[in-house]
Structure 1
Amino acid sequence: MFDYEMHQLRAAELIREADDRRLIRQVRKARKEAARSARDKGEGRVESLRGRFTRAA
């Protein structure tokens, strides 16, 4: 019985590790795609900073 319980715990641990690795892969892929689309987008509209700061005396 003890061996079976140890096996179940190990199987659950491996499943959690696989899920974590899958999530990490998905995040990296999404970041890479976002960077690629930003790079492909090219030059965009430049926003002015005039409204964000007050004038110095």
Structure 2
Amino acid sequence: MKPISFASPAQSRAQRLAQEARNCLAIAVGHTDTAFTADLIDEAMRLTLRARELAKA
């Protein structure tokens, strides 16, 4: 499958960061260590916020 082409590098980066955030959450859901889960959720939030900033640019 051909990757989606974006108009700017910022949009492409935003898409990758959003995917990484989803990956963090997927791992967090299946983990039993609460400290590790909390760290993954925090990282997902940071990635999501940055992805939104880049998507607006």
TM-score range, shorter chain: 0.3 to 0.5
Q: If the length of structure 2 is used for normalisation, what is the TM-score? A: 0.43
Higher alpha-carbon Rg: 1
Higher RCO (CA < 8 A, seq sep 6+): 2
Q: Which has the higher helix share?
A: 2
